[in-house]
Amino acid sequence: MTSLRLQNVKKSYAHVNVIHGIDLTINSGEFVVFVGPSGCGKSTLLRMIAGLEEISSGKLLIEDQDMTQQPATERGIAMVFQSYALYPNMTVRGNLAYPLEVAKKPKADIAKAIEETAARLHLTELLDRLPRALSGGQRQRVAIGRAIIRHPRIFLFDEPLSNLDAELRLQMRIEIARLHASLGNTMIYVTHDQLEAMTLADRIVVLRQGIIEQVGAPLTLYQDPDNLFVAGFIGSPKMNFLSAEISAVGNGEVQLRVPDLGLSALILKIAAPCHEGQHVQLGIRPEHFQPVESSPAALQFQGELSFCERLGHTNYLYLDIGRENMLVVEAREARETTLGEQVRLGISPAHCFLFDEHGARMR
Ligand SMILES: Nc1ncnc2c1ncn2[C@@H]1O[C@H](COP(=O)(O)OP(=O)(O)OP(=O)(O)O)[C@@H](O)[C@H]1O
Ligand SMILES: [Mg+2]
């Protein structure tokens, strides 16, 4: 069942257009993550869905009802913000009760709802504390509690974990995933952290400058990006991009020259229209380089090791290949390395991505 639909939704402030026509359908119970760089319009889009911001043009449907002009209170939506936005002079109990008191629910129902919500979010021991006596993670749990206690149809989260330290973020990320699994509500979650997007989402919506670049399951975006922006945004460390030139075309294959790697005959299977002399970008993820032993001489290159990050479970090598950007290579095997040494590797045509001069994927 459709939970929410955006039809050609646009937003402008005075004469500045910030959202350029978004079409998106979200299914009932889906966990959808909006991701994109700062300023791309994630919060604006979420606030328009919540009814906190007017929709300049286009339509918003919730469960097939036109909600474009409806006030926030009529939409059945609850929103959780990065800043928690708790009432500082109310206890946790008071903060949880507030939305139900405003809705004039009977006292006994409110008490029961508080008890259930507190138990679900491990807040029972903290009910009589004021927000200032809580940690960041506890405050964010209260903010989430205040949202779920109203039984909204849809939850919106705007970077709810950004103020937390790394360990707490991970813990809260798991709690939010569990909450979604147990409540089964539609959730829309905004973040600029691609790791959060990858781990939480059923589907990710990648936004850039007010438009959707791609919508898809996390692994689809990772394995089959539609364009250079999505390829570079999803994955950490990010995909390496190398300038290349098509030197021959035929039989569903292209031959590439890749000057930065000193390669003159990299052959890729590409069905997209292309021509000899075309300038393209070759994309290779850090984890997709090959040891020399398993790659033919024509696909080998070398670079000078200028930096090595050892993370325990894996290592990232930063290779100077004589251009401004280092090539980032993941090396699972921890071996002794010396800065300045020449590292020789191969590339695997099956793991290469190709993008045209406009950044569109060539498949
Ligand atoms: N009230 C406003 N008046 C004018 N421009 C605005 C207003 N609110 C937001 N914008 C602009 O709209 C664009 C999108 O802003 P938005 O807050 O939605 O970005 P975001 O993707 O949430 O970014 P961040 O990751 O930094 O939170 C930005 O360029 C911003 O400057
Ligand atoms: Mg924002």
CA 287 to ligand 2 center in whole angstroms = 31
Instruction: Please check the confidence at residue 87 and state whether its pLDDT lies above 90.
Output: yes
Q: Which two tokens stand for residue 227?
A: 């364009």
Q: Which residue has the tokens 């813990």?
A: 171
Instruction: Please check the confidence at residue 238 and state whether its pLDDT lies above 90.
Output: yes
* Over residues 71-75, mean pLDDT: 93
- Please determine whether the domains at 2-233 and 240-362 fall in the same fold group of CATH: no
- Of the listed ligands, the closest to the CA of 158 is 2
CA 82 from chain centre, in angstroms, equals 16
Q: Which residue has the tokens 């700062």?
A: 38
Contact present, 145 and 121 (Cβ < 8 Å): yes
- Of the listed ligands, the closest to the CA of 44 is 1
Which residues are within 5 Å of ligand 2 (an ion), measured at CB? 43
Q: Which two tokens stand for residue 86?
A: 């708790």
98-109 pLDDT tens trace:
999 998 999 999
CA 260 to ligand 2 center in whole angstroms = 37
So what's the pLDDT on residue 337? 84
From the CB of 82, is ligand 1 less than 6 Å away? no
- Of the listed ligands, the closest to the CA of 37 is 1
So what's the pLDDT on residue 333? 85
From the CB of 12, is ligand 1 less than 6 Å away? no
- Of the listed ligands, the closest to the CA of 38 is 1
From the CB of 42, is ligand 1 less than 6 Å away? yes
Q: Give the residue, by CA position, lying nearest to ligand 1 atom 31.
A: 39
Q: Give the residue, by CA position, lying nearest to ligand 1 atom 8.
A: 44
Report whether CATH 3.40.50.150 matches the domain 2-233.
Answer: no
At residue 142, what is the residue type?
V
From the CB of 168, is ligand 1 less than 6 Å away? no
Res. 135 pLDDT band, cuts 50 70 90: very high
CA 196 to ligand 2 center in whole angstroms = 15
- Of the listed ligands, the closest to the CA of 11 is 1
* Over residues 129-146, mean pLDDT: 94
Q: Give the residue, by CA position, lying nearest to ligand 1 atom 4.
A: 13
CA distances from 260 to 57, 61, 302, 346 (A): 47, 50, 10, 14
From the CB of 211, is ligand 1 less than 6 Å away? no
Q: Is the bond into 349 cis (omega within 30 degrees of 0)?
A: no
CA 62 to ligand 2 center in whole angstroms = 22
d(Cα 79, Cα 66) in Å, to the nearest integer?
Answer: 20
- The contacts of residue 115 (CB under 8 Å, 6+ apart) are 124
Contact present, 17 and 43 (Cβ < 8 Å): no
* Over residues 221-249, mean pLDDT: 97
* Over residues 71-92, mean pLDDT: 93
Question: Can you give the three-state secondary structure of the chain, one letter per residue?
Answer: CEEEEEEEEEEEECCEEEEEEEEEEEECCCEEEEECCCCCCHHHHHHHHHCCCCCCEEEEEECCEECCCCCHHHCCEEEEECCCCCCCCCCHHHHHHHHHHHCCCCHHHHHHHHHHHHHHCCCHHHCCCCHHHCCHHHHHHHHHHHHHCCCCCEEEEECCCCCCCHHHHHHHHHHHHHHHHHHCCEEEEEECCHHHHHHHCCEEEEEECCEEEEEECHHHHHHCCCEHHHHHHCCCCCCEEEEEEEEEEECCEEEEEEHHHCEEEEEEECCCCCCCCCEEEEEECHHHEEEHHHCCHHHEEEEEEEEEEECCCCEEEEEECCCCCCEEEEECCCCCCCCCCEEEEEECHHHCEEECCCCEEEC
Tell me how long the chain is.
Answer: 363
324-342 pLDDT tens trace:
999 999 999 877 889 999 9
From the CB of 87, is ligand 1 less than 6 Å away? no
End-to-end Cα, the chain, rounded Å:
33
Instruction: Please check the confidence at residue 53 and state whether its pLDDT lies above 90.
Output: yes
Task: Count other Cβ atoms within 10 Å, centred on residue 90.
Answer: 14
Q: Give the residue, by CA position, lying nearest to ligand 1 atom 22.
A: 43
Contact present, 194 and 234 (Cβ < 8 Å): yes
Res. 82 pLDDT band, cuts 50 70 90: confident
So what's the pLDDT on residue 336? 83
Please give the CATH number for the structural domain made up of 240-362. Answer: 2.40.50.140
140-198 pLDDT tens trace:
999 999 999 999 999 999 999 988 888 888 988 998 999 999 999 999 999 988 889 99
- The best mutation among 9, 13, 207 to test binding of ligand 1, ranked by most ligand atoms within 8 Å of the C-beta, falls on 13
Q: Which residue has the tokens 């043009």?
A: 57
Task: Count other Cβ atoms within 10 Å, centred on residue 226.
Answer: 19
CA 325 to ligand 2 center in whole angstroms = 29
CA 35 to ligand 1 center in whole angstroms = 14
Q: Which two tokens stand for residue 174?
A: 């798991």
Q: Where are the domains of the chain?
A: 2-233, 240-362
CA 41 to ligand 1 center in whole angstroms = 6
